Amino acid sequence: MSIPRTEAIALPRASARVTGTTQRLTRALPELVIGVLGLVIGLVGITVPSVWYDEAATITSATRSWSALWTELHHVDAVHGLYYAGMHIWFAAVGYSPFTLRLPSALAVAVSAALVVALGRRIGDRELGLLAGVIFVALPRTQWAAGEGRPYALITVLAVALTLVLTAAVGRRGAPAAGWWAAYSLLAALSIALNLFLGLIVLAHGAGLVWQRWASRRRGRVRDDLHAGVLAAWFMASCCAIAAASPIAVTALRQSGQIGWIPGFSAQTLIQVFQTAWFGDWTVIAVLAWPLLALGSRAALRARHAATAPENADACAAQPERTTHPRIAPGPLLITASALPVLALVTATALGHAIWTPKYATLSAPFVGILIALGLRQLAARERTVTETGRSDLVRTSGRSPLLRLRRVIARRPFTVTLGTLLVLCIGPTVLARLPTAKDGADWAAAAAIVQHQRWLDPDPNEGIIYGQLAGHSSATSSALAVAYPHAFTGLRDLLTVSTGAERGQLWAKNGSLATTLPSRLQRIGTVWFVGASGDALVSQTDHELTHDGFGIVGRWFAGNEQVVEYRRLSTG
């Protein structure tokens, strides 16, 4: 009687599946780690800054009915229509609060960070991907986007995802290539519909491919770089994307008067490009980062192609699945994606079409992070050389002065010192971005807290409110504070608004005349609140009208550029 063969039991297949899943999770571990790191840092103090004007525009639009939102987009903010629609669905699911307003941005930064790691690994190796992800998360512009209830964090996700799809499409032929180019076209259409400036990333991709093609022809390496039809495929995919997004684009361009507040070209524009665009107005960070950008750009240009093999030979032997990598040059791709959007916006501004503002540079932040990481890699290579040889010109110099000691440390550990200094410096703007008045100096939360606290101390069932001019925004009333902090203003009768933003198809409400609108609405009102800009002329007019109608001032408070005034009806007995 023979013993049954254990090989006949079908357990190895399940084991193989488990092993394959484990390997995939292990390969994705860098992306997961950096993504979680980005989310954790982005969530720290996310609700501390007061909601401000731009975020209030998101709230008031996304909390309207679908029909009211549709009407609004025909008059204003069509450029953000897709984002508002997404936030409408989000608020319907989770409700509105400053936390839920900003949570999607924090999540988007986390996804962007993971994709930056993936892109860094694809054009280099795991070490580059991890380093690029850390730098991207640390950038002040990234942390600003993570805490902003606007679409800028989502823009970074689409910019990196679109670039990853491009690298996949370029390296394939036949039906697989057609599928990737179709995906690129669809994603590009979605990107442009979400934000018109993402079209500059599509343009940067084309410029990078043309640059690579030109450089290859110059070196006589056309066959080694881009196979025939890549530029044609990009052009067709881009044209289809633009055609698909054109209805939104045309409507948004007709509303270009909305950005009339953007200043024209000046010396300040160049300063903003140097430091504000990505480095949070901190000159010391910009001074450290720009040389790394230059060093990384040089290193990227010296690499003719992205990786054409797995990250290491051992990984190739242990991983029999497809390891095709796109044959696309990292230098032209990263440099154009970093520089072209900013260059285009600044050039248009210099030509008299003012469209440059530093926050629009957010879409280039992922590629700036990768270039800085490449620059740091060059310092790491030097550090390894010094460590292996045990000598350098600065190390061998004599002397004991503190400055000389510092030079010795930098000479021995250029990568460690530079990376550590950069990360420590980036803590500063990140902390400042989480202060209560970090957003344009707005302190709406404090003003709303004053109203809510005073109403709780001395409640009155017959209360009304007059919304004055919003500080810094002559076209809006301070009803934006009630949009941002509704609980503080619940139950107050609006005494001056004659038409809401939803009724007008605009963002904000419109006030009537104080002399004609107010008296008829004061019946049975015992307490009147005034909220408006500190320098609003309506304040003195309100004082006069309410005093004439038998009210007296109970208290006056100031919160940043806003003031709160409480009036009570005086007793006649």
Q: For position 391, what pLDDT does the model report?
A: 53
- Round the average pLDDT of the chain to a whole number and report it: 88
- Output the CA–CA distances (angstroms, integers) from residue 258 to 80, 81, 534, 536, in the order listed: 12, 14, 25, 23
Residue type, 415: F
Q: For position 381, what pLDDT does the model report?
A: 86
Q: For position 304, what pLDDT does the model report?
A: 57
Q: For position 326, what pLDDT does the model report?
A: 45
Residue type, 503: E
Lowest mean pLDDT among 89-98, 221-230, 374-383: 221-230
Q: How confident is the model at residue 327 (pLDDT cuts 50, 70, 90)?
A: confident
Please state the domain extents for the chain: 24-378, 444-569
Condensed to tens digits (0 to 9), the pLDDT of residues 306-321 reads 443 344 433 333 333 3
Residue 511 near residue 497 (C-beta atoms within 8 A): yes
Average pLDDT over residues 504-527: 93
- The residue ranking higher by pLDDT, 485 or 395, is 485
Average pLDDT over residues 227-240: 90
Q: For position 11, what pLDDT does the model report?
A: 42
Q: Residues 244-252: contacts with CB within 8 Å, 24+ apart?
A: 244/185, 244/189, 244/193, 245/189, 245/190, 245/192, 245/193, 245/199, 248/78, 248/79, 248/81, 248/82, 248/192, 248/193, 249/192, 249/193, 249/196, 249/199, 251/73, 251/74, 251/78, 252/78, 252/79, 252/196
Our measurement of the distance from residue 300's CA atom to the centroid of its chain's CA atoms, rounded to an integer in Å, reads 25
Residue 352 near residue 264 (C-beta atoms within 8 A): yes
Lowest mean pLDDT among 32-46, 394-408, 539-553: 394-408
**Alpha-helical runs (H) found in 171-229:** 174-194, 199-219, 222-225
Q: For position 259, what pLDDT does the model report?
A: 85
- The residue ranking higher by pLDDT, 566 or 308, is 566
Condensed to tens digits (0 to 9), the pLDDT of residues 13-34 reads 555 555 666 777 778 899 999 9
Q: How confident is the model at residue 6 (pLDDT cuts 50, 70, 90)?
A: very low
The backbone torsions φ and ψ at residue 251, rounded to the nearest 5 degrees and listed phi first, read -60, -40
Q: For position 319, what pLDDT does the model report?
A: 38
Condensed to tens digits (0 to 9), the pLDDT of residues 349-368 reads 999 999 999 999 999 999 99
Residue 151 near residue 198 (C-beta atoms within 8 A): no
- The residue ranking higher by pLDDT, 267 or 176, is 267
**List of residues 6+ apart from 130 with CB closer than 8 A:** 30, 33, 34, 117, 120
Condensed to tens digits (0 to 9), the pLDDT of residues 37-55 reads 999 999 999 999 999 999 9
Residue 518 near residue 488 (C-beta atoms within 8 A): no
Condensed to tens digits (0 to 9), the pLDDT of residues 368-380 reads 999 999 999 999 9
Q: For position 412, what pLDDT does the model report?
A: 77
Residue 551 near residue 529 (C-beta atoms within 8 A): no
| DSSP-assigned beta bridge partners for residue 564 | 531, 557
Longest dimension (CA), the chain: 115
Burial class (CB in 10 A: 0-12, 13-18, 19+), 219: exposed
Q: For position 220, what pLDDT does the model report?
A: 66
Going by C-alpha positions, the residue among 397, 398, 336 that lies closest to residue 368 is 336
Q: For position 321, what pLDDT does the model report?
A: 38
Going by C-alpha positions, the residue among 147, 143, 150 that lies closest to residue 86 is 150
**What token pair was written down for 536?**
């609003």
Q: For position 488, what pLDDT does the model report?
A: 97
Average pLDDT over residues 462-472: 94
Q: Strand, coil or helix: what is 173?
A: coil
